[in-house]
Amino acid sequence: MICRKATRVISEGMDRRLTGLERLSLGLHLLGCTPCRRYRRQLGLIRELLRRLAEWLDQRHVDASARLTAEARQRIQEVLEQGGHQGQ
């Protein structure tokens, strides 16, 4: 597995359960790739920080108008699924 594929699989693993082959291939790659291990750790930290921010906003009853609409969330999700290459 090359780093480009490893980072894609790491990202996808945040949203879905990886197949056995994906987990095995990624695990083997991560054994020898410090940058990809760092990427996985950083992605996990970002996800955790965003989760905490969402909780913090919920606890403070932030005005709903300050949040993303369902349409905006859907557009963001579509761009993320396309790998961030909107319009290409």
> Would residue 18 count as lying in a domain?
yes
Percentage of the chain lying above the pLDDT 70 cut: 86
What contacts 18, CB < 8 A, 6 or more positions away? Answer: 9, 12, 26
pLDDT digits (tens, 9 = 90+) for 17-53: 999 999 999 999 999 999 999 999 999 999 899 888 8
As a whole number of angstroms, the distance between CA 79 and CA 3 comes to 21
Q: What is the pLDDT of residue 24?
A: 96
> Would residue 62 count as lying in a domain?
yes
Is the pLDDT at 10 greater than 50? The verdict is yes
> Would residue 24 count as lying in a domain?
yes
Q: What is the pLDDT of residue 73?
A: 82
Q: What is the pLDDT of residue 88?
A: 39
Q: What is the pLDDT of residue 41?
A: 94
> Would residue 71 count as lying in a domain?
yes
> Would residue 50 count as lying in a domain?
yes
Q: What is the pLDDT of residue 87?
A: 45
Q: What is the pLDDT of residue 64?
A: 57
Q: What is the residue range of 69's domain?
A: 3-81
> Would residue 38 count as lying in a domain?
yes
Quote the number of domains for the chain. 1
> Would residue 88 count as lying in a domain?
no
